[in-house]
């Protein structure tokens, strides 16, 4: 049975709007103190040294957690597994989206809120390919998709974890290089390497 996501999309939009309203300007660049342009060289160097680095980290291995704090809430995200072409729901990816040569893939995710107030959704997740393509999660779900399913949107209490699988329609003959967590609260996406096979 197919479930459409109109109601869920509205719910997610409301959750994201609330999260944005709680996080200040929503623009990470505006929240970072910039070095002053005074003539005092020492002061400029000191200000630059305290500015957070936007340097990209190496991709994590599957199972390695990523922790970040926003507005006093600390969340730990972990990509547990990636599977492609191993499950075959009654509705194929090609039938669903009118494509040729696509199959279903699933990413298993675990999110734990350490403290503060938080919510999770599947929409910041993406798959990245060597050619630069990025694929977002499927907007549809079926009863025979892999279980448990990662929620479209859910609030999380401090000390609570949410775990589940998010499904993507992907090219059957290609494999992504990375699983990305692309939340707008991060300066750069968190990355996990996808094994070759």
CA 114 to chain centre: 18
Distance, CA of 194 to CA of 177 (rounded, Å): 5
Collapsing DSSP states into helix, strand and coil, what is residue 168?
strand
Neighbours of 118 (CB within 10 A): 22
The burial class, CB within 10 Å (0-12 / 13-18 / 19+), for 80 is: middle
pLDDT band at 102 (very low <50, low <70, confident <90, very high): very high
**The pLDDT value given to residue 185:** 87
* 8 Å CB contact between 82 and 179: yes
pLDDT band at 161 (very low <50, low <70, confident <90, very high): very high
**The pLDDT value given to residue 142:** 83
| pLDDT score of 159 more than 60 | yes
Residue with the bigger pLDDT between 58 and 9: it is: 58
In the sheet that holds 125-128, the strands lie side by side as 134-135, 125-128, 178-181, 190-193
8-state DSSP, 11: H
Percent of the chain at pLDDT exceeding 90:
61
3-7, 12-16, 139-143 — which one is most confidently predicted on average?
A: 139-143
Collapsing DSSP states into helix, strand and coil, what is residue 178?
strand
Closest Cα to residue 190, out of 30, 26, 31, 62?
62
**The pLDDT value given to residue 28:** 34
- Tokens 């399913």 sit at which residue? 149
The burial class, CB within 10 Å (0-12 / 13-18 / 19+), for 149 is: middle
Closest Cα to residue 124, out of 174, 68, 71, 72?
68
Residue with the bigger pLDDT between 145 and 29: it is: 145
Distance, CA of 141 to CA of 35 (rounded, Å): 48
Residue with the bigger pLDDT between 85 and 163: it is: 163
- Tokens 């696509």 sit at which residue? 102
Q: Using a cut of 0.85, tell me whether the model's pTM lies above it.
A: no
pLDDT band at 139 (very low <50, low <70, confident <90, very high): confident
pLDDT band at 33 (very low <50, low <70, confident <90, very high): very low
Give residue-wise pLDDT tens across range 48-94. Answer: 333 344 566 899 999 999 999 988 899 999 999 999 988 889 999 99
């Amino acid at each position: 049975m197919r479930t459409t996501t109109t109601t869920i999309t509205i719910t997610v939009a409301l959750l994201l709007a609330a999260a944005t309203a709680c996080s200040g300007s929503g623009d990470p660049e505006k929240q970072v103190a910039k070095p002053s342009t005074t003539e005092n060289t020492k002061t400029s160097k000191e200000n630059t040294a305290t500015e957070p680095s936007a340097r990209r980290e190496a991709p994590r291995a599957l199972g390695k957690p990523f922790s970040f704090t926003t507005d006093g809430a600390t969340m730990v995200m972990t990509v547990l597994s990636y599977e492609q072409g191993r499950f075959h729901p009654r509705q194929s990816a090609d039938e669903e989206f009118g494509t040729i040569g696509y199959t279903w893939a699933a990413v298993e995710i675990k999110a734990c809120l350490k403290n503060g107030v938080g919510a999770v959704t599947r929409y910041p997740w993406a798959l990245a390919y060597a050619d630069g393509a990025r694929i977002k999660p499927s907007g549809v779900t079926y009863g025979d998709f892999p279980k448990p399913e990662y929620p479209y949107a859910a609030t999380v209490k401090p000390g609570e974890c949410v775990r589940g699988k998010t499904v993507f329609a992907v090219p059957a003959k290609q494999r992504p290089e990375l699983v990305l967590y692309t939340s707008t609260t991060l300066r750069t996406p968190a990355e996990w390497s996808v094994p070759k096979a």
